[in-house]
Amino acid sequence: MEMRSFSDYLRSVDDAAFLNLFNARPDLITPVPSDIASLAVRACSAPSLARAIDSLNQWQFQVLEAAASINEPFTEKEVVALTEKEAKAALSHLVMIGLIYPSDDGMRLPTQLREVIGAEPAGLGPASMAKLKLSELKDAPADAQKVLERLMWGPPRGSVGDIKNPGPGVAWLLEKKFLVPLDQRTVILTREVAIQLRGGKIHKERFVNQPKLSGNKRDERQVNLAAIANVSTVLRWVEELLNFWADEPADALRAGGLGVRDLKVVSAHLGVDESCTAFIAELAYLASLVSIDGDERILPSSKFDIWLMQSPADRWQMLASQWLITSRVSGLVGRVDAKNVAALGPELDRVNAARVRALTLDLLRENPGIAPEWNSFKELLLWRAPVRRNSSLQEELAEWTLREAEWLGITGQGAISKFGLEFLNGDDLNSINEDLPKTVDHILIQSDNTAIAPGPLEHEISQALAMMAEIESRGGATVYRFTEATIRRALDHGKTGDEIKTFLAKRSKTPMPQPLEYLIADVAKKHGKLRVGNTSSFIRCEDTALISQIMNDKKLELLSLRRIAPEVVICDMDATDAMRVLREAGYLPAGESANGMILTGPKSNRSVAKPRPPRIIGEIETPTPEVISAAIRVLRTGEKSTHRQSKLRQVASEALGQLPRTTANETMEILNQFIIDEKTLSIGYADNNGGVTHRIIDPIRISAGALIARDHATGEVQSFRIPRITGVAPL
């Protein structure tokens, strides 16, 4: 078969070659093109070529640059001469993924590839249009030598004051055609001259071999212990964050996302820095565990309750899998040059994030037991991905990936863990359930109003204790502190003072100290004495002295209180806001319903809005072998159909000669007769653009001003409008 184009080359390859091509470039079959010609057009498009170039390592890209610097057609020998003998393997790979293809007279590049690479590959200028005597370069004057040394390795362009009076060195080079003027002030070094000056090679240094990753060797057991601790911690972080937002919802910014003030509040609550808090919030957002309701409040979604009931392995996998494929980058939050970027906001998408993240984890997987040294890792990353889109962020994306993988427990002490390997390989993650520390069902209450949990608490106990106390420190053991505010929170959730004391006495291995008992009793006595309800709101208290105290309290002036009865005060604020202000001023109000009942009870504050996880600007996933095989079958079938249609049209055109011409009456008479006889007809048919083509048809019937017939070219029954039929003729 004669090969004159990329389409011809694709028609000549077998199914195994298509399998390799589609594995390397899955975008070519997403969706599956109708035939080989359509496939060739897509493969030669700039976006598809850019994706394919992104997959090359540094050596493969250098070989591609060398091929792009040679006039087509070129040979393998020419490319090897300009690079190294190892270029043969790289060329085979480039042919396999369709960035170079063989033709009858040599190798060629797909159209647009040079435009995607750039006008000056490897810092080389255009080929010379004149015949050059490169041997004269040895005799170049000193001024010319300086110009050549400056332009030799690129960029090949240089500026001159005036092309008519450029100076002796530039003038000599222009005279010998070694430099070419582009305009009145710019000259460019020709490609042949630069290659000659470079010693016949395209690149100063050829990066044939992958750099070796260096770092600290880690013990596998210690890595896994550190990783499982990180897994436990990240699950606790997400749970604590969402429980906190259930009690104190954050307000979403008008432009979307979490405000700086709310981010700092949550960071203080979790006891981590803001970058880690942004990461945790993003994990919850990606997994649809949070939602923004109609009042622009950020609240846990109902899916959070389902997530809490799952096993630790399932909970962790939900978070990690969304993180792996997302195009969102939480590391952008808090950057100096990204002041307007907010966690959960719309500005965090970066098109290359998922690919850099996957590559970073692949490098860790290829080097188990090593915590990489950053400079060495960066060098290896650059070799594996020299020309990524959005490459200005590539190093930072990799650095953030290493940090976030450690937070998640994919790595431990900087090295890939067994949980990370199982996750990346798609294996069962039951080892997480087995290796997590066993839960405990007791606490140790201390004399300073604190309690120590000597391990991870059972879920129900943890939830109840989190309601009654604040976490003061975290680690292998968690320290909780009881305060007036935390006891009040438990009372707001429907607990009584006696129930709180009973719970603590039952769960504590140490006796409850007297100061804590007094604290609980004192807060329980005061709680609910002052009540707030909605008018806009009212404040009611049977203790008139307390009402008088409130009316005279300057800290409550913003409430604009007005006393309407000895025991009742009203204000313009909503009841929720009024209670918040009173609590900040040191009072202990409780909510009251319209019929005077105190509003306490377990609170499960969830968003009524459906969670809307962020979009993912992802790369196309590698299809399964079954999908690729089906795509190849569709292509082959489509190619046969296209070839058959073209051949039938050509045969019809040659056999029938001129288009048939008949009057409207003759057309109808012949059509009706051939429908009865069930014979084949040739017709002339006008398309939407006014062009007329031959069609060979089997007429079936006439309906609603159209002829229903089977078209021989497609084998399908089609409708032909009778006014567009220019003529009919029997075959």
The CATH number covering residue 119 comes to: 1.10.10
pLDDT averaged over the chain? 86
What does the pLDDT average to over 468-476? 80
Whether 645 shows a pLDDT value over 80: the answer reads no
Question: Would you state the pLDDT for residue 534?
Answer: 60
Residue 638 within a domain? no
Query: 34: which residues sit within 8 A by CB, 6+ positions away?
Result: 638, 642
CA 326/CA 286 separation, integer angstroms: 8
Residue 20 within a domain? yes
**DSSP character string of 457-504:** BPHHHHHHHHHH-EEEE-SSSEEEE--HHHHHHHHHTT--HHHHHHHH
What does the pLDDT average to over 126-139? 86
Classify 616 as helix, strand or coil.
coil
Contacts 24+ apart (CB under 8 A), 446-450: 446/510, 446/513, 447/513, 447/515, 449/481, 449/482, 449/483, 449/513, 449/515, 449/516, 449/519, 450/479, 450/480, 450/481, 450/482
Strand pairing category for 250-251 and 290-292:
unpaired
Are 262 and 325 within one domain? yes
What does the pLDDT average to over 43-49? 91
- Of the residues 519, 549, 567, which one is the last residue of a structural domain? 519
pLDDT per position as a tens digit, 689-715: 777 877 888 888 888 888 898 887 777
- Yes or no: say if 144 and 169 are a contact pair by the CB < 8 Å rule: yes
- Yes or no: say if 24 and 619 are a contact pair by the CB < 8 Å rule: no
CA 259/CA 254 separation, integer angstroms: 10
pLDDT per position as a tens digit, 543-594: 888 888 888 888 888 888 888 888 888 888 888 788 888 888 888 888 887 6
Strand pairing category for 530-533 and 537-541:
antiparallel
Residue 117 within a domain? yes
Residue that wins the pLDDT comparison between 610 and 394:
394
Question: Would you state the pLDDT for residue 528?
Answer: 74
Taking Cα atoms as reference points, which of 701, 684, 705, 702 lies closest to residue 693?
Answer: 684
- Yes or no: say if 170 and 147 are a contact pair by the CB < 8 Å rule: yes
- Yes or no: say if 65 and 121 are a contact pair by the CB < 8 Å rule: yes
The span from the first CA to the last CA of the chain, in angstroms, equals 34
Whether 655 shows a pLDDT value over 60: the answer reads no
pLDDT per position as a tens digit, 71-129: 888 999 999 999 999 999 999 999 999 999 998 888 999 988 988 888 888 889 888 88
Question: Would you state the pLDDT for residue 423?
Answer: 95
Residue 618 within a domain? no
Whether 205 shows a pLDDT value over 70: the answer reads yes
Residue 598 within a domain? no
Are 510 and 547 within one domain? no
In total, the chain counts a number of residues equal to: 731
CA 280/CA 274 separation, integer angstroms: 10
Are 414 and 354 within one domain? yes
Question: Would you state the pLDDT for residue 535?
Answer: 66
What does the pLDDT average to over 668-682? 84
Are 257 and 315 within one domain? yes
Q: How many angstroms separate the Cα of 207 from the Cα of each of 52, 383, 535, 630?
A: 19, 8, 76, 38
| Rounded-to-10 torsion of CA 136, 138, 142, 144 | 40
Look-up: residue for tokens 């899998």? Answer: 321
Whether 1 shows a pLDDT value over 70: the answer reads no
Whether 595 shows a pLDDT value over 80: the answer reads no
Q: Percentage of residues in the chain with pLDDT exceeding 90? A: 31
Whether 460 shows a pLDDT value over 90: the answer reads no
Look-up: residue for tokens 């409850």? Answer: 512
Are 390 and 309 within one domain? yes
CA 54/CA 309 separation, integer angstroms: 42
Are 269 and 329 within one domain? yes
Q: Kindly indicate the confidence band of residue 599, based on its pLDDT and cuts at 50, 70 and 90.
A: low
Amino acid sitting at position 177:
K
Question: Would you state the pLDDT for residue 377?
Answer: 95
Whole-model pTM?
0.74
Are 150 and 116 within one domain? no
Whether 652 shows a pLDDT value over 60: the answer reads no
Query: 612: which residues sit within 8 A by CB, 6+ positions away?
Result: 288, 291, 292
Amino acid sitting at position 662:
T
Are 248 and 107 within one domain? no
Query: 350: which residues sit within 8 A by CB, 6+ positions away?
Result: 327, 328, 329, 332, 390, 393, 397, 617
Strand pairing category for 450-453 and 537-541:
unpaired
Interior/surface letters 500-531, b for 16+ CB within 10 angstroms, e for the rest: bbebbeebbeeeebeebeebbeebbebbbebb
Tokens of 461: 């106990």
Are 248 and 304 within one domain? yes
Question: Would you state the pLDDT for residue 461?
Answer: 83
Residue 685 within a domain? yes
Query: 316: which residues sit within 8 A by CB, 6+ positions away?
Result: 231, 234, 235, 408, 409, 429, 432
Question: Would you state the pLDDT for residue 127?
Answer: 86
Question: Would you state the pLDDT for residue 161?
Answer: 80
Question: Where in the sequence is the domain holding 86, given as residue range(s)?
Answer: 6-123
Residue that wins the pLDDT comparison between 474 and 205:
205
Residue that wins the pLDDT comparison between 276 and 72:
276
Q: Name which of 222-231, 266-275, 656-665, 673-682 the model is least confident about.
A: 656-665
Are 402 and 456 within one domain? no
Residue 187 within a domain? yes
Q: Kindly indicate the confidence band of residue 374, based on its pLDDT and cuts at 50, 70 and 90.
A: very high
Q: How many angstroms separate the Cα of 460 from the Cα of each of 113, 158, 353, 441, 481?
A: 61, 73, 38, 9, 18
- Of the residues 123, 146, 174, which one is the last residue of a structural domain? 123
CA 86/CA 445 separation, integer angstroms: 70
Taking Cα atoms as reference points, which of 554, 453, 24, 6 lies closest to residue 232?
Answer: 453
Tokens of 529: 């004495």
Are 479 and 553 within one domain? no
Taking Cα atoms as reference points, which of 331, 353, 355 lies closest to residue 343?
Answer: 331
DSSP state of 624: P
Residue 48 within a domain? yes
Question: Would you state the pLDDT for residue 367?
Answer: 93
Are 381 and 296 within one domain? yes
Question: Would you state the pLDDT for residue 399?
Answer: 94
Q: Name which of 146-160, 210-224, 346-360, 520-534 the model is least confident about.
A: 520-534
Q: Kindly indicate the confidence band of residue 456, based on its pLDDT and cuts at 50, 70 and 90.
A: confident
Q: Kindly report whether the peptide bond that precedes residue 723 is cis, defined as omega within 30 degrees of 0.
A: no
- Of the residues 519, 545, 576, which one is the last residue of a structural domain? 519
Strand pairing category for 444-445 and 450-453:
antiparallel
Number of domains observed in the structure of the chain: 6
